[in-house]
Amino acid sequence: MPHKMSPFGAWGLPAALLTLCLYPGPAEMFEVHIHPEKLVLEPGGFAMINCSTSCAQPDNSGLETTLTKTLVGQGTQWKQYLVSNASQDTVVYCYFTCSGQQKLKDLNISMLYPPKQVLLKLKPTWVAVGGSFTIECWVPTVTVPLGSLTLTLFRGKEAMYNKTFNMMTLGPQEATVTHSAKAHKEDGRHNFSCQADLDLRSHGQNIIHSVSEPQMLVVYDLTPDNQMVVIITVVSVLLFLFVLSILLCFVFGQHWRQRRMGVYGVQGL
Ligand SMILES: *[C@@H]1O[C@H](CO)[C@@H](O)[C@H](O)[C@H]1NC(C)=O
Ligand SMILES: *[C@@H]1O[C@H](CO)[C@@H](O)[C@H](O)[C@H]1NC(C)=O
Ligand SMILES: *[C@@H]1O[C@H](CO)[C@@H](O)[C@H](O)[C@H]1NC(C)=O
Ligand SMILES: *[C@@H]1O[C@H](CO)[C@@H](O)[C@H](O)[C@H]1NC(C)=O
Ligand SMILES: *[C@@H]1O[C@H](CO)[C@@H](O)[C@H](O)[C@H]1NC(C)=O
């Protein structure tokens, strides 16, 4: 921890009296800022932290942390650090000493477990050209209560549909998108997939991508050629039945006439 110095150091009593007259207390003399204000890290991940102050000439400053830290840049009123090797939730402190008074600012670092699984389902998996089908994508266990999650549905490389969820308001339930589409002939030649993008740029991180397994749609085709074959078959069958029924009529007609003549023959005896 940073060491604590006497609040007014070299300035002594006059400065203390002046401060008491001008401000409610010495704590209001200068400010310490930490950027970003919220930070998430993947296990073993790294991030930049900028400690800055409103104090014109700070005497001393630094970053208190159990993480591995490297000073990567500094100015009179700021210091930038690279922190890395996080394995659990932790708190880091920026401190500045100004005119002998020290102030701290804390930053909570949370561990991030990105969406491990992105699941995709096509319903049905067999569809005729022009028929409708549904694409459903979901992330079963969303463990990050930060940032925004966008689920994008892809047909091959082309983005078809997307939806963004605010993770602060989503809660622990599933993030799901469902989209209906009409099957095109060429859909059978592309894989469908779903991409989950967790946007943590406001939390000192980048966008984290995860992609589902690709899924194929079987599209069967009733082209004009195929339709012609179907029409010819149906017409042939109908024609055959028609001819058959005429034939049967003729045969039964003959049979019936013979029986009637037979009956007359009996009556004639
Ligand atoms: C750190 O923050 C200070 C104050 O906001 C700013 O002036 C400085 O440029 C920042 N440094 C970097 C490297 O971003
Ligand atoms: C990273 O952290 C582990 C324990 O959390 C430690 O043993 C290791 O030395 C650290 N590595 C670096 C480069 O600081
Ligand atoms: C950090 O976390 C602690 C405990 O959860 C909380 O009291 C504190 O306000 C947090 N600090 C910041 C800067 O969010
Ligand atoms: C989401 O879709 C909208 C319009 O449909 C588009 O403007 C936007 O760029 C898409 N976002 C992503 C992340 O693909
Ligand atoms: C679709 O995905 C499967 C499984 O990953 C792969 O074998 C196949 O080559 C892909 N097809 C296309 C057109 O990308």
What is the chain's pLDDT, residue by residue, as a tens digit (269 residues)?
Answer: 444 444 444 444 444 444 444 444 444 579 999 999 888 888 888 999 999 999 999 999 999 999 999 999 999 999 999 999 988 889 999 999 999 999 999 999 988 777 778 999 999 999 999 999 999 999 886 666 678 899 999 999 999 999 998 877 766 567 899 999 999 988 888 899 999 998 888 877 788 899 999 999 999 887 666 667 777 888 888 999 999 999 998 888 888 888 777 655 545 44
Same domain, 97 and 30: yes
Q: Where is the domain boundary, 111, 137, 152?
A: 111
Same domain, 188 and 106: no
- Nearest-Å Rg of the Cα atoms of the chain is 40
Q: Nearest 10 degrees: CA dihedral of 34, 45, 83, 4?
A: 70
**Which alpha helices (DSSP H) does 23-77 contain, by range?**
none
Q: Which atom of ligand 4 is nearest to the CA of 159?
A: 14
User: 101: domain CATH number?
Assistant: 2.60.40.10
The H-or-E segment that residue 213 falls in is none
Please give the distance of CA 136 from its chain centroid, rounded to a whole number: 13
Q: Rounded to the nearest whole angstrom, what is the distance from the C-alpha of residue 107 to the centroid of ligand 1?
A: 17
For 165, the domain range is 119-220
- Report how many domains make up the chain: 2
Q: Rounded to the nearest whole angstrom, what is the distance from the C-alpha of residue 34 to the centroid of ligand 3?
A: 13
Query: To which residue do tokens 């028929």 refer?
Result: 131
User: 87 CB under 6 A from ligand 2?
Assistant: yes
The answer to the question of residue 46 being in a domain is yes
Distance from C-alpha of 190 to C-alpha of 130, rounded to nearest angstrom: 16
Q: Where is the domain boundary, 195, 220, 245?
A: 220
Q: Which atom of ligand 5 is nearest to the CA of 213?
A: 5
